[in-house]
């Protein structure tokens, strides 16, 4: 009888011990799922932050180059400009009529951002370039898994932003003085050439 009681007590202890081990396994599984979700959220946030920084940097750099394109008619690729072409456009164009082709600016931004984004598809750029101001607005849809479900909670599923660059009055004044000086030099050179003929 005592031996049977001992066997029953041992069996009960084994079952309780097995239950305790099983409960630890379930708890460890739940904790592991939470840890994995937190790790993936950190990775997703890192991708998101990287893409936002890249979009901002490329847009800012493009806006700076586009400002030179608008004010000095310089090349978007290497920044070189021709005084002859600028002189042909005249002083009035340099003061107020200067605009830029928006397709050139968008193409420049797309070539510099290609292959740089982790979490987003290729962005779309909207450019407004006018006298003394360039404004670039970008919109890039996020393509990470489960971000489509975020629409249910009203969370944005794209990265948007804008960059605006203004020409300072000092730069505009210096540019105009250089243009007038260059115009005078060209006019005096042409007078000397005509006098020699």
pLDDT digits (tens, 9 = 90+) for 130-169: 777 889 999 998 877 766 666 666 666 788 999 998 876 5
**What's the pLDDT tens digit per position in 61-99?**
888 888 877 766 666 776 666 666 666 666 555 555 566
Exposure string over 135-146, b if 16+ CB within 10 A, otherwise e: bbbbebbbebee
149/31 Cα distance (integer angstroms): 24
How high is the pLDDT of residue 10?
74
The pTM of the full predicted model, rounded to 2 decimals, is 0.64
Asked if the model's pLDDT at residue 128 lies above 80, the reply is yes
């Amino acid at each position: 009888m005592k031996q049977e009681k001992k066997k029953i007590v041992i069996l009960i202890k084994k079952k309780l011990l097995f239950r305790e081990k099983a409960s630890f396994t379930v708890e460890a599984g739940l904790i592991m799922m939470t840890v994995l979700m937190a790790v993936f959220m950190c990775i997703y946030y890192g991708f998101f932050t990287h893409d936002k920084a890249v979009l901002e940097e490329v847009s800012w750099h493009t806006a700076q180059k586009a400002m030179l394109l608008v004010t000095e008619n310089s090349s978007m690729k290497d920044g070189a400009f021709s005084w002859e072409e600028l002189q042909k456009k005249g002083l009035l164009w340099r003061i107020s009529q200067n605009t830029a082709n928006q397709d050139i600016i968008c193409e420049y931004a797309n070539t510099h951002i290609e292959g740089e984004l982790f979490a987003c598809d290729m962005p779309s750029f909207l450019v407004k370039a006018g006298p003394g101001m360039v404004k670039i607005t970008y919109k890039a849809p996020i393509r990470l898994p489960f971000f489509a479900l975020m629409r249910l909670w009203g969370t944005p599923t794209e990265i948007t932003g804008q960059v605006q660059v203004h020409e300072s009055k000092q730069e505009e004044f210096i540019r105009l003085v250089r243009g007038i000086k260059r115009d005078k030099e060209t006019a005096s050179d042409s007078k000397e050439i005509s006098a020699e003929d």
